[in-house]
Amino acid sequence: MPKFNRTTRRTKGHAPDKDFPLWIHGASGRWCRKVRGTRVYFGYIKDDPDGQKALAEWLRVKDDLLAGRKPRPKTDGLPLHEAVNRFLNVKAADVQSGELAQRSWNDYKLTGVHVVECFGRGRVVEDLRPEDFETLKARLAKGRNLTTLGNEIQRVRCLFKYLWDSDLISSPVKFGPGFKRPDKKSRRRLRNARQPLAFEAAEVRQLLDAATPNLKAMILLAMNCGMGNTDLAALPVTKLDLDRGWHFFGRPKTGVERRAPLWAETIAALRVVLDSRPQPRDPVDADLVFLTRHGRPYVRLQAKGDAPEGDKTTWNDAISRETGKLLRELGIHRERLNFYSLRRTFRTVADGAGDQVATIFLMGHADADSDMSATYRQYIEDARLEKVVRHVHAWLFVTVADDAVDVQHQAGERPRLHVVSAV
């Protein structure tokens, strides 16, 4: 609280207390603050001698003023930070019940952080206008491709739909015509314009020869059964049956059942990893197959910079980081080619086996709601899964004695599959 009385000298720029954010404008007798080069006034001192009303108003409009926005009129309503917290609490309950993956909740949380940072903590939800969402879309678009941007936009819309469906706001939020997912045509055009995100068989073999034991096992699992970064980081020891040569780890992202036969090379690499696995830093990670040398999961959410835990967070993906470093060392790095490209390569090659249903099952993709055949299909035979993984194995480990499928990359063209004749 400012310490002064009515006899305090009112001079230009005089502040009653060094920690008080406002100062006295002597000429007009008002509380004042200069923001972005412009003076902003917060009422007369004679009406607010201790400055508490002025302070409250400053805190209300602070985020808008500092961001260069015109503050909205003061209204009663649901503050944005409270709205986001309520939404996240509901989603946290879905995680506890098994209806939502932890990673999905983390994505919702990061989206909520973006929304609060863009609009301001104290902004009333019902005060948001289409122009506000235009600003948010421009902010979200920085550093994201069209697919990732579309996912962010969908999560934002999900947040505000929850508020309306839960009667927390008196009217639905108007996003404006532009705040929607990029259309499929735009996404297809972007995909067609860039190079194929797939490896050649020889490049995968180069990676296997140069990789550390952990990364080698991960590469083999990605090519053997289409596992991605988060699949591998969350893979439990209890979901492996190395004696029989199978894994039974459902995909966390979709909750879809998944199993796959393992190559002999994959089994051998996994045994090496399990024999030298470090002690976990956190007991909750004791069942994970893959741990970094510090005993942490390979993909985890952590605080960004000096921000306190739970404030600003970012993904720490050691799999992508190690793979990127190895690609550069081997001289086979290309734009947007990363560890996840191994999963794309698996799907591209596996389709050549001629059993799309088995390939989708191995990938852990969810069936479309309109696919009635998936509703009637009760199981997939092991022999069909074995056929697909044998086909990919033949492509990857090419020998002069066997015909194999290889992926060739030509400038400006998609990868084309063809049989490489024995010599």
Radius of gyration of the chain (CA): 28
Least confident of 93-97, 318-322, 343-347: 93-97
**Greatest Cα pair distance in the chain:** 101
CA distance 298 to 288: 10
pLDDT score for 309 = 45
Check residue 81 and give its pLDDT: 93
Q: Which amino acid is at 319?
A: I
**411: burial class by Cβ within 10 Å (0-12, 13-18, 19+)?**
exposed
For residue 377, is it left (φ>0), alpha (ψ between -120 and 50) or beta?
beta
Instruction: Quote the pLDDT of residue 8.
Output: 42
Q: Which residues contact 366 (CB under 8 A, 6 or more apart)?
A: 254, 255, 256
- What's the pLDDT tens digit per position in 50-90? 888 899 889 888 888 888 887 766 666 899 999 999 999 99
Q: Which of 30-39, 66-75, 284-293 is the least confident region?
A: 66-75
DSSP 221-249: HHHHH---HHHHHT-BGGGEETTTTEE--
Predicted pLDDT of residue 307? 45
What is the tens place of the pLDDT at every residue in 375-393? 677 789 999 999 999 999 9
- Which one is predicted more confidently, 267 or 53? 267
What are the boundaries of each domain within the chain?
23-67, 80-193, 201-366+378-397
* Dihedral of the alpha carbons of 290, 293, 297, 302, in degrees to the nearest 10: -160
What's the CATH number of domain 201-366+378-397, 3.50.7.10, 1.10.357.10, 1.10.3720.10, 1.10.443.10? 1.10.443.10
Q: What mean pLDDT, rounded, does the chain reach?
A: 84
Q: Does residue 409 surpass a pLDDT of 60?
A: no
Structure token pair of residue 131: 């122009």
Strands of the sheet containing 246-247, edge to edge, are: 240-241, 246-247, 260-261
Is residue 312 over pLDDT 60? no
Question: What pLDDT is attached to residue 365?
Answer: 85
CATH code assigned to 80-193: 1.10.150
| Cα–Cα distance measured from residue 36 to residue 42, given in angstroms and rounded to the nearest whole number | 16
